[in-house]
Structure 1
Amino acid sequence: MPIDELPESVPPPTGAGESLSAPTRRTFIATSTVAGGAVVAGGVIGGSSLGGPEEAAGAEAAPSSRVSLTVNGSRRTVTVDNRTSLLDLLREQLGLTGSKKGCNAGACGACTVLVDGRRVNSCLTLTVRLEGAEVSTIEGLADGDELHPLQQAFMDEDAFQCGYCTPGQIMSGVGCIKEGHTGSPEEIREWMSGNICRCGCYVKIVRAVEQTAGRK
């Protein structure tokens, strides 16, 4: 058949309301994106995808408690979120920033304080469990301008470099002496092993604890 006699292509018949052509890949992606965005926006605006109003209200109203405790000889009554650690109470609410936040996981000892005379990692200690407790921090060791003997020993022995771990080291050393774990340098190292010094002043720290315990 000659080329000029080829029959013209006839488009298939379409019914009322039907598309004249099948959707292309581009129009499919564009349509899906618009529809998906509308669903997400509707969920965020309406709150359906992130939980109902009851869940939002529950998240805003975290349980809290009123706690009375003694910090460095002063009675304090505070209202705290039940999840508040003793470290965060001391630093953020009471302004006692000597206790340092190092690992915040109980592994470095920089936050060590005494609770009822015993050493604790304040980052792992919940404030709500300390009703009636007595807490001692590095700020409460000195008697006016007179340093605590262990504070003086740290200076005498030059038992620090950067100083970040020093408050926790001193508080742990005070507890170590009170517990009677100063029979030998080896015993001191063992019972002070929870306090990390990244500057490596361990030998001088042990000497300072020995000096304060009366061994030197």
Structure 2
Amino acid sequence: MKHDTQHDTIQTREYAEPIEQANPVPWLLGLVGASLAVWGVSYFLLNPDLAPASAKDTSRDAVTSAAAPAAADGAQIFASRCASCHQANGAGLPGVFPPLAGSAWVNGDAKTVSRILLLGINGKIDVAGATFNGTMPAFGTTLSDAEIAAVATHVRASFGNKSAALTADLVKGERTALGTRTTPWAGGDELSKQP
């Protein structure tokens, strides 16, 4: 009988087929990890000066932040809300947006500036010898009294203007005097008639 050597060949592998087993993390490695975690927490608890600033609670800082909210930054408010129209230098765009530099509306009565910022303007207004006919948005619903006072103070003290600062109390008084009015001022004519 003849042997078929092709079928009888036993295939042998160089290495055994890998077998998946449940290999847990060595208990010693787990013990080292837990020890490091306990040491880290206790290190920061025993050395409070090393704790992150957000975790520190000093009574002086807590009292200061509760007693006085952060002051509004008029320059920042101007840059984010006003400069796109009136330009960063306060010169406006000829025929489109009025200048704030040297404007009688800006440097005049502080109540008028407050009213303009609270309700905005829709219509013709004469500024520095030129007539502008456009719309200025109202900021009374989006800015606080302190923020309106800060941005008005910034404008009245920038771009060559040298007018007195506005207070949040003045803006609050104007907001109260306006009552429930939400419509913008109908140009410079209506604004100039206000007491």
* TM-score clears 0.5: no
Whose helix fraction is larger, Structure 1's or Structure 2's? 2
User: Scaled by the length of structure 1, what TM-score is found?
Assistant: 0.28
Larger Rg: 2
